Amino acid sequence: MPSLDVSELNIVLGVFGSFIILYGIISVKIKSAWFLGEALPAVAIGVMLGPIAAKFIDSERWGSAAEGQTSDITLGVARVMIGVQLVIAGYQLPAKYCWQKIVPLLICLLPIMTIMWLFTTLCILTTIPNLTLLACLVIGSCVTCTDPILSQAIAKGPFADKFVARDLREIISSEAGANDGFGFPFLMLATYLIRHADIPGLHGSKNVEAGPAFGGSAGAVPLVARAEEAHSTVGRLGGGVGVAMGNWFLETWLYIVLMSIVIGALVGFTAGKALRFALKKKWVDSESYLLYPTALGVSFISFDLFVPCQTLVAANRGGMAQLWLVGICGMLGTDDLLACFIAGNALNWDGEYLRETEARHDEVNSVMDVILNFGGFMYIGTIMPWSEFHQPDTTGITIPRLIGLGFMILLLRRIPAILMTYKFMPSVCKNYKEALFMGYFGPIGAGAVFYVEHTRHLFPELGKGDSEETNLVRAMIPVVYWLVLFSIVVHGLSIPGLNMIYSWYGVKPIQEDAVEIRRLSVRVPTPVNAAVEDKGEHFVAYNRFSRPVFHAAELPIVENRGQRRSYYFGNAGPQAVFGAQQGGTDNNFNPSSESVNWVDVEKERAQAQMRAAAVAAQGPPRPSIQFARGV
């Protein structure tokens, strides 16, 4: 007789597939009409099916069901989830963006992040009892970074297509990608100050064993301390502030941060060169080409999924399924998140990779985003430590304290820092309204989950350290997970709320940079901030995240008394339209000021004529442009 196989794997797959099916039926309504995105519904389903409610999904029962394995699983899930999407976020930026916008990006990564860290620490110190300043600095560093996944949804979602200027969207996306890796210096500074604090009677302690690292002092400790190594390499080491700062500079900045940048740039540039060579030889098919960002972030499994979690943690930073760049950086003990983002930037350094993916109608990486978001945030919903949110007798944490902390973080963590510095980066944040938007939408999500689970391995287990370490380890999980939940709910509902406000006050969508997108099917819904043209065969979309690219040399040079030239992306390619504000001269198109891009042509006329001759010698013009093309 047939028998039921209600294994944990089958349960997880059944729930995950059912959620994707049900979500997909009304996905256009959820994303483009209600502006809810993917994170909030996924977390809600995870909470309902997790141990606190239906008890349908419980990570403690997975695999070998080893006690305490949830922490290790969570760290691995977060690494894979973030690593892949950071590579995708990196290559979707304009070519050489991080170099061209180096000043505003450094402002976001250094002074703004520092202010955010300090303000967050003060909020935690004010609301959470029994914690020292250094302990609050550790917890504050876990939630300082803006989440790269939720930020991409804000910067590239339907609401942003309607109302958010492209320059602001790009800096939000790039900052979130870079600062998730730049959180390590803040975390490790507070960690080293605790480890190397001069405490009377500390030296000679039996549970402390210091060893040299990177040729430094005897008090230095490797950053990656895992599993059975944790009991001998973490805890109080002594040595004072000088030793702590020395190790912080050598290990964190030179080894972790700098090496991650080098590894990411090397891998990204090499991959780009290899792909260009393969394209020239016509060796690579579309599927393999489009999967390259995923392969860079998470390419091959370096350990079997059924290896016990303790072994995984000791070997490679807690990842259950190590995928290539994540695995390599994890084994070296460097910052894999920063390396993934840099690799994505380097892959598209000249803009060719993004241009080619859009020419091939790339939906592969968008699908990877959706799958990782669904699975990752649903998992986060199942592991929420509800029982630890109210423990007045042990941690002193209560629900009212956490609610107050959530609103303090929402108002003070990021908004003041942006308002103080936005005038120093006018090219990306032009006024106080954009500064408020940029400051408010700095969500806390999967990145904070990664950092707090990573921090577990930097300190002794609960009850095996002194009072400061014990209070820190006991409080950091409920505080960080609460802020993650609070941010997902508040920021997830803020976008539809803001859309309602804009609609009420009649705020018009941004109608700039019109690009033509071929409609792949008559059943494809019209995108947000777009219109149907050419008898339903094409969309004319405005304010897309990818910048449209064209050169004046590729367009016909026509004498006209008008002072400006506009470019229309029509069926036959880019069309030059002169004097459009006076009625236009193109026989096939009657342009309006909302459907064309105006460019001052007088400054470039001489150069354009020279380039036109060079383009003419190359043969016929390029095919019609169907997607916005990245710089």
Please say which residue of 504, 538, 558 terminates a domain: 504
d(CA 132, CA 240): 17
- Which residues have CB under 8 Å from 264's CB, separation 6+? 325, 338, 339, 340, 341, 342, 343, 345, 346
Q: Does 541 share its domain with 470?
A: no
Please say which residue of 447, 477, 504 terminates a domain: 504
* Any domain includes 630: no
Read off the amino acid at residue 312.
Answer: L
d(CA 191, CA 224): 12
Q: Does 374 share its domain with 495?
A: yes
Q: Does 248 share its domain with 288?
A: yes
Instruction: Give the three-class secondary structure for 127.
Output: helix
* Any domain includes 48: yes
Q: Does 205 share its domain with 298?
A: yes
* Any domain includes 222: yes
Check residue 305 and give its pLDDT. 30
Helices (H), 55-147: 69-91, 97-100, 102-107, 113-127, 133-142
* Any domain includes 547: yes
Check residue 4 and give its pLDDT. 67
d(CA 580, CA 599): 12
d(CA 42, CA 307): 28
Q: Does 445 share its domain with 568?
A: no
Q: Does 543 share its domain with 462?
A: no
Q: Does 21 share its domain with 59?
A: yes
* Any domain includes 176: yes
Q: Does 499 share its domain with 519?
A: no
* Any domain includes 117: yes
Check residue 594 and give its pLDDT. 36
* Any domain includes 82: yes
Domain of 424 in residue numbering reads as: 8-504
Q: Does 156 share its domain with 206?
A: yes
Q: Does 500 share its domain with 549?
A: no
Q: Does 529 share its domain with 400?
A: no
| Distance (Å) of CA 356 to CA 86, 348, 624, 625 | 19, 10, 14, 12
Check residue 207 and give its pLDDT. 40
Q: Which residues of the chain have pLDDT under 70?
A: 1-5, 200-233, 298-334, 534, 547-631
DSSP 599: E
d(CA 399, CA 536): 53
Please say which residue of 459, 482, 504 terminates a domain: 504
List the 573-578 sheet strands across, edge first. Answer: 573-578, 564-570, 597-600
Q: Does 478 share its domain with 526?
A: no
Check residue 362 and give its pLDDT. 85
pTM above 0.85, yes or no: no
Number of domains in the chain: 2
* Any domain includes 622: no
